[in-house]
Amino acid sequence: MPFSITLSEILYEEYGFWWMGFQACSLYIYTDYVMVGVSMHSHVLITINRIWALVFPVSYKHHHNFKTAWLVCLAMVVYVHVFCLPGFLMDLMYYRVDSDESCGLDIDLLQEWSILVQIVIYDFPIIFIVASYPFLLRKQLRRGKTVSAMTGTLDRSGSVKFRKRKEQTKPFVLLTLLTVGILICWTPTMIFYTMASFMSVG
């Protein structure tokens, strides 16, 4: 089924027809709206995680655990569904036409919902992640200098402290790659859909 959905999506985007039926169309729309929103907010959680670790390292060390991470992720998934499901269900119950020619939400019929979801679920993550990065970069650089100073005074060989510093740097490298990926892959698309959402109102 996942391969069929992907193939169907490619054909739909390329040739403008949908050949998988009504139920598959619903699954496609759900993944297109809800799962993309969950993915983007996962990046938000990674950024929040780094803010917590760098700004409040003692609290992070004592309170960050598997249970906390699981509950935060669950809350994020519920949050995304609260915003995305109303429009999806309205379309499914009132506006959707069982057709082989098209598959998608009609944002002209769901204007207010479409604008709200675009801003809160898709635009906000990009703004938050990009705006947070300079602050996190400054914190990370200051933390690196502190660790370097400690290395020179506490460990003559430098081997133990160097290993700890490398472990502390890995999460920030991941955050940097995610931020660059969002700027390159997501930002142009979200600008387009934001403009489309507001233009549908006019």
Enclosing domain of residue 89: 2-201
Count: domains in the chain: 1
Pair 165, 148: CB distance under 8 Å? yes
Concatenated DSSP letters of 132-196 = HHHHHHHHHHHHHHHHHHHHHHH-SS-HHHHHHHHHHHHHHHHHHHHHHHIIIIIHHHHHHHHHH
**33: which residues sit within 8 A by CB, 6+ positions away?**
84, 87, 88, 105, 117
CATH number of the CATH domain containing 146: 1.20.1070.10
Per-residue pLDDT tens, the chain, 202 aa: give them.
Answer: 344 445 555 666 666 666 777 787 888 888 888 888 998 999 999 999 989 988 888 888 888 899 999 999 999 999 999 999 998 888 888 887 766 667 777 777 788 888 899 999 999 999 999 999 999 888 888 876 655 544 444 455 544 454 455 556 777 788 888 889 888 888 888 888 888 777 765 5
pTM of the model as a whole: 0.74
Query: In 3D, which of 73, 90, 92, 84 has the Cα closest to residue 121?
Result: 84
Pair 104, 200: CB distance under 8 Å? no
Pair 52, 60: CB distance under 8 Å? yes
